[in-house]
Amino acid sequence: MRNKFSLPQALMKPLPFGISRLREGGGALLAGLMLVVGLAQAGAAPNPEKLYETWCQGCHGAGRLGGTGPVLLPDSLSRLKQADAIKAIADGLPATQMPGFKGALDSEGIQALAAWIYTEPAAKPAWEAKDIEASRIVHKDAMDLPAKPVFKADPSNITLVVEHGDHSITVLDGDRMAPIHRFATRYALHGGPKFTPDGRFVYWSTRDGWVTKYDLWHLKVVAEVRAGLNTRNVAVSSDGRYVMAANYLPHTLVALDARDLALVKVIPVQGKNGKTSRVSAVYDARPRASFIAALRDIPEVWEIPYAGLNPEQPRPVRAVELTDYLDDFFFDQDYRLILGASRASPKGQVVQLDAGRKIADLDMPGMPHLGSGITWEYQGRPVMASPNLKEGLVSVIDMRTWRTIKQIKTLGPGFFLRSHENTPYAWADVFSGPDKDAMQVIDKRSLEIVATLRPEPDKTSTHVEFDRYGKYALVSIWEQDGALVVYDAATLEEVKRLPMKRPVGKYNVWNKTRLSAGTSH
């Protein structure tokens, strides 16, 4: 495979460096770390490349091209001031896996490291159409298999559990809450699996750009392709024809043929002013027969109609210009509106897609995580609720007036809020802080917290999802020796727990393909 940028072997299959290796008790590395810190303390000028290799590469990847953490190159840091980067290295970032390093590095080393990540690499990374095409792998033995599952479980009530601890997926029978199959994925799956409308095929992407097609009925990988160097997520068109990948690096959207992941089109992401942008995420908008993309570095939202993906059409994009960035958003149930927020802005905004403009502001303090927002009917009117990455609260918004109905106080900042049409409860995690082991249950009728569960004391509990019928609520114990804890969604009693390796997201076929109001789409 040839391209403009020679990819290091470590990037193709990253290994755990830095903090993770230190936690495993690597004696040689520990000695090296002590030497690095010792030299800094002795007055030697810090070597930022060595500091990066020791402390950062395990998450942010060789060449700063990203891994479980984001890309650290000047183009990707354009919205982050260097002073803020220094603070992030020293103190860490809330609601992320980024720890603080001020206890390990002195201020001179932190400043040198921050300055270095804003410098251009010797060779600019590139990943073009020819590189994408050359990377594609098709497993011919998995093509054109019979349209019949090899297992007896209800295929519409299958739940996929992503286990980040050893980069695996467990296929769970949603009726029996018992594993059917478990298999390895590529490194650092990210962004959530997406299903075809019939639920048979599922697609996912990894941080380092690999897109996989998997036959869920036959438990086989069908095809793989590397769509980028650092990828945020994928979306699948509601007609089952296309897969769209959103890239941080390079600044592109990549359309693939859903049958075998053959390249359809590379769409450069460039605003009207000529500035290029990372893509924060891409989603399928089923009623609109289009994809919607959030841009990280340009205050625009893009709509890409399926019909515009003909390779001969030069620019199949409708750009909706905004007054502020949308780092994170979700749709109303009709897909006419998107509700989004910027990490730097104190307010969210409501964008009417047909009109192509903002129609309202959302009064939401802190840092709302609108990508985890849910909707339901409250006292005869539709409401939206969102957790908050910075403050201990859940905001409930009237979707007719866009006024805040209530701020529900929680025990700490949360990452996910989930529910189901067949349950009166919404479940909110407390992702960080002393109460990270808490799961708080909110009654959607009274907007009051009615229970606080602690599935495992002092262990992070997160990301509730439901089975097809809303009978079971599934909670992740987000630890290396973690578990999937199954609760009766009506009585809130534990039913069983399954040991798992740092389980994160759960994805139920029925809820995702039927666009349940209680989960993200």
Task: Tell me how far apart the alpha carbons of residues 403 and 193 are, in angstroms, rounded to a whole number.
Answer: 33
**Which residues fall within 8 angstroms of residue 380, CB to CB, at 6 or more apart?**
none
**For residue range 60-97, what is the model confidence (pLDDT) as tens digits?**
888 887 777 777 887 667 667 888 888 889 888 766 67
Task: Tell me how far apart the alpha carbons of residues 54 and 81 are, in angstroms, rounded to a whole number.
Answer: 24
Mean pLDDT of the chain: 88
DSSP state of 411: S
Give pLDDT, residue 119: 87
Task: Tell me how far apart the alpha carbons of residues 204 and 235 are, in angstroms, rounded to a whole number.
Answer: 9
The model's confidence at residue 34, banded by pLDDT at 50, 70 and 90, is very low
Q: Which range has the top average pLDDT, 24-33, 60-69, 403-412?
A: 403-412
- 284 has which bridge partners? 291
- The DSSP secondary structure of 247-265, one letter per residue, reads EEESSEEEEEETTT--EEE
pLDDT at residue 42 greater than cutoff 80: no
pLDDT at residue 27 greater than cutoff 50: no
Residue 91: enclosing H or E segment and its boundaries? helix 82-91
Residue 19: enclosing H or E segment and its boundaries? helix 18-23
Amino acid at 262: A
Give pLDDT, residue 155: 98
Long-range contacts of residues 394-402, Cβ cutoff 8 Å, at least 24 apart: 394/426, 394/428, 394/442, 395/362, 395/364, 395/365, 395/368, 396/447, 397/362, 397/364, 399/332, 399/375, 402/350, 402/360, 402/361, 402/362
**For residue range 276-331, what is the model confidence (pLDDT) as tens digits?**
999 999 999 999 999 999 999 999 999 999 988 977 766 679 999 998 888 778 89
Task: Tell me how far apart the alpha carbons of residues 437 and 293 are, in angstroms, rounded to a whole number.
Answer: 34
Q: Which position has the higher pLDDT, 108 or 439? A: 439
pLDDT at residue 10 greater than cutoff 60: no
Give pLDDT, residue 16: 35
Give yes or no for a contact between 64 and 73, defined as CB atoms under 8 angstroms apart. yes
**For residue range 142-151, what is the model confidence (pLDDT) as tens digits?**
999 999 999 9
**For residue range 188-230, what is the model confidence (pLDDT) as tens digits?**
888 899 999 999 999 999 988 999 999 999 999 999 999 999 8
Amino acid at 97: Q
Amino acid at 421: E
The model's confidence at residue 9, banded by pLDDT at 50, 70 and 90, is very low
Could you give the C-alpha distances from 316 to 178, 240, 267, 446, in angstroms and in order?
44, 19, 8, 46
Could you give phi then psi for residue 17, rounded to 5 degrees? -105, -165
Give pLDDT, residue 14: 38
Query: What global pTM score does this model have?
Result: 0.83
SS (H, E, C) 455-520: CCCCCCEEEEEECCCCCEEEEEECCCCEEEEEEECCCCCEEEEEEECCEEEEEEHHHHHCCCCCCC
Whole-angstrom distance between the N-terminal and C-terminal Cα of the chain?
A: 35
228-256: average pLDDT: 95
Residue 294, token pair as written in the block = 């959030």
Give yes or no for a contact between 147 and 189, defined as CB atoms under 8 angstroms apart. no
Cα 454 versus chain centre, distance: 25
Question: Among 152, 161, 137, which Cα is nearest to 217's?
Answer: 152
Could you give phi then psi for residue 180, rounded to 5 degrees? -100, -35
Residue 278, token pair as written in the block = 């990372």
pLDDT at residue 244 greater than cutoff 50: yes
Give pLDDT, residue 71: 78
Give pLDDT, residue 22: 35
Give yes or no for a contact between 436 and 423, defined as CB atoms under 8 angstroms apart. no
Q: Which position has the higher pLDDT, 83 or 179? A: 179
- Hey, is 176 helix, strand or coil? coil
**For residue range 112-140, what is the model confidence (pLDDT) as tens digits?**
888 888 888 888 788 999 999 999 999 99
Give pLDDT, residue 314: 66
Residue 21: enclosing H or E segment and its boundaries? helix 18-23
Give pLDDT, residue 94: 65
pLDDT at residue 5 greater than cutoff 50: no
Give pLDDT, residue 78: 67
The model's confidence at residue 31, banded by pLDDT at 50, 70 and 90, is very low
- Residues 9-117: name the CATH superfamily: Cytochrome c-like domain (1.10.760.10)
pLDDT at residue 156 greater than cutoff 80: yes
The model's confidence at residue 3, banded by pLDDT at 50, 70 and 90, is very low
**For residue range 423-481, what is the model confidence (pLDDT) as tens digits?**
999 999 998 899 999 999 999 999 999 999 999 999 999 999 999 999 999 999 999 99
Give pLDDT, residue 485: 98
Give pLDDT, residue 43: 58
Task: Tell me how far apart the alpha carbons of residues 427 and 415 are, in angstroms, rounded to a whole number.
Answer: 11
